Structures are given as C-alpha cells and as structure tokens.
Amino acid sequence: MKKIVVVLFLTVFTNTFAQANKADVLKLVELSGEVKEFYNIADEISKQLSVNNRERFKKDMEPLIAKQKKNLIAYYSQNLSQSEVENLIEFYQTPLAKKFMMVKSNYAVVLSNRSEAFKAEIQGIIMKYMM
C-alpha cells in the first residue's frame, strides 16, 4: 500500500513540474507573433537584394527560420509549465492581447522608419571621424 501511495505521489509531483506540451508551445509561439517576426526580418533583408534574388533568398531562409522556430519551442517547452503555456495561449486570444499585438506591429513599422533616419545620422557622425 505504501508503494502505491509513493508511486501515486511521484506521478502527481512529476506531472506538476513537467515540461509544456510542444504542440501547445507551437500555438503560443504563433499567437505571440514571434514566428511572424522571423519572416519580417527576412522580408526586410530581402528588400536590400535585387528583385531577381528576393524569392530565392526567402526560400533559402525557410530552413533557418524553421530552425529558429524549433529552438524557440524547445526553450519555452523547457522553461514554462503546461499550465503557464495554457494561460498565455488564453491571454493571446483575448481582445486586449490582439490589440496589443496590433499596436506592437504598427510600432515596429514606425520604429523601422525612424531607425533608417537614425542610421543615416550615425553614418554622418562616423564619416566625421573617418576623415
């Protein structure tokens, strides 16, 4: 009887601290927009290439993005419990989270526009010291 109680206790204890389900973590990563950010980075870089090379570049980026996605899922799976993942998924499905993601996305566009001007200013200062 004692063995059954100990085994039952260990089973419950282990499940409480078990890693999150990777399928749920994948859903979380997609809802949070992190995967989309990988694609946005690739899109921004592709704009610097000739039109002929853009699609080939994006195709070559797919395995790298898949690897980053896999690493992200593994990291979250190890560091978040199943209940934490479920709570985050629930949050990202709320109207507040959807609004936050939209505002965040819009800010990324504003920031990238401002960063170009900032980079130009930095280049001006760098040129001052190179001459």
Instruction: Name the residue ranges covered by the structural domains of the chain.
Output: 18-93, 95-131
Higher pLDDT, 98 or 7: 98
SS3 of the chain: the string is CHHHHHHHHHHHHHHHCCECCHHHHHHHHHHHCHHHHHHHHHHHHHCCCCHHHHHHHHHHHHHHHHHHHHHHHHHHHHHCEHHHHHHHHHHHCCHHHHHHHHHHHHHHHHHHHHHHHHHHHHHHHHHHHHC
Closest CA to 35 of 101, 130, 80, 91: 101
Structure tokens at 84: 């934490």
Contact (Cβ atoms closer than 8 angstroms) between residue 57 and residue 49: yes
Average pLDDT over residues 56-77: 93
| pLDDT for 8 | 44
| pLDDT for 19 | 79
